[in-house]
Amino acid sequence: MDKLQARRFAVLSPDLVVPRLEDMERDFVNAWLRMKGNLLSGGADKLGYGQEKKAKDLAANAHSRRLRQVGLTALAKEARIQVTALAHSGASLSGPSTRDAVYQFAADLHGESPWMREVSAWIMHKMLAHVCTGGCGLALPPVILAGPPGSGKSHYARRMAELAGAPSRLIDVGGGSAGFRITGTEKGWGSAQAGIPVETILSTHVANPVMVVDEVDKAGTMQSTKGTSTSLTTALLPLLDPGTARRFECPFHRLPFDMSRVIWIMTANNADHIPAPLRDRAQIFHLAGLTAEDAIEHFDRLSAGCGDQAERDDCRAFVARMAGAPRGISLRQIRQLAGALRSSTAPNIH
């Protein structure tokens, strides 16, 4: 993007900003020196051992009280540093912030994935409405892209994030643990940790990362050693609704995070298998497989300048035949074919 919005967004309350213990010790020692200097006509430039220890003990007590007040005592030092840094600086909002930037963003999306034209047009209209009301950065309600394997659903979501300058994470639903990878885990699990969305915001200081939940129609349920269970649906529902997402309490940090700007793109092969509560909270796009025209255009873009004309014509004819077959052709197959042509060894397609 030519312009990315740098406005700060308060994911965490500024009240969580607690000075470092070392800084508080220095302040207490300096305050004691000033008081001692006021009592002595010649001033004071040094505390005795006992006085310095007392000042540092007072600082440690004040630091502990402050941590208890804001709810940070249970966090390890590394996690506490991450939390206070984000609370202090806030997070940025990545993505288009003007009408012209939105048009360019949508044009780039369409140029790379023209078969997703309906989705790109919807994104453009949503973003135009957002920036025209003073909004900034990529902002979209939850989306479900439903279509056959190989139609570029996950690739499209990741490219959308890249074009917006936003971080993205792919959350694979397989295995039934996706619910905990989304919300995070607390004590009672083998490895307590924050969920991927919170982890991403803490590490990047971007409030609107793109979370790509792959194959959401295959979600399962997982149970902890203490009998607590979660499913993808129960994990996602509070994060898909802007009202509850603004007050999402991370089970690992036990702090409220404003997750309302996170972008959720869910993919599925069959929308009918997605739980109704998720379908009700998302904009669903039913995608067809690649047409021969779209498949050839994508191949041409990936293989521009590679091979001689005869090789290119053979490859284009092969792509057209595959696209017209019952199983169709996937983006992965097109990329492999273009890669073979680029390697200077023409693929055997006869």
pLDDT in tens, 241-262: 999 999 999 999 999 999 999 9
Query: What is the Cα–Cα distance from 284 to 217, expressed in whole angstroms?
Result: 13
Query: What is the Cα–Cα distance from 314 to 262, expressed in whole angstroms?
Result: 44
Among candidate residues 199, 205, 197, the one with its CA nearest the CA of residue 89: 205
Q: What is the pLDDT at residue 229?
A: 45
Among candidate residues 156, 146, 147, the one with its CA nearest the CA of residue 123: 156
CA 282 to chain centre: 17
CA 45 to chain centre: 51
Q: What is the pLDDT at residue 230?
A: 57
Whether pTM > 0.85 for this model: the answer is no
Q: What is the pLDDT at residue 225?
A: 43
Q: What is the pLDDT at residue 76?
A: 84
Residue 308 exposed, middle or buried by CB count within 10 Å (0-12, 13-18, 19+): exposed
Among candidate residues 145, 148, 176, the one with its CA nearest the CA of residue 278: 145
Query: What is the Cα–Cα distance from 153 to 284, expressed in whole angstroms?
Result: 12
Q: What is the pLDDT at residue 176?
A: 57
Pull the structure tokens for residue 112.
Answer: 């790379």
Q: What is the pLDDT at residue 224?
A: 45
Q: What is the pLDDT at residue 189?
A: 55
Query: What is the Cα–Cα distance from 255 to 184, expressed in whole angstroms?
Result: 12
Query: What is the Cα–Cα distance from 103 to 183, expressed in whole angstroms?
Result: 34
- How does DSSP classify residue 209? P
Kindly give the parts of the chain with pLDDT less than 50.
1-6, 221-229
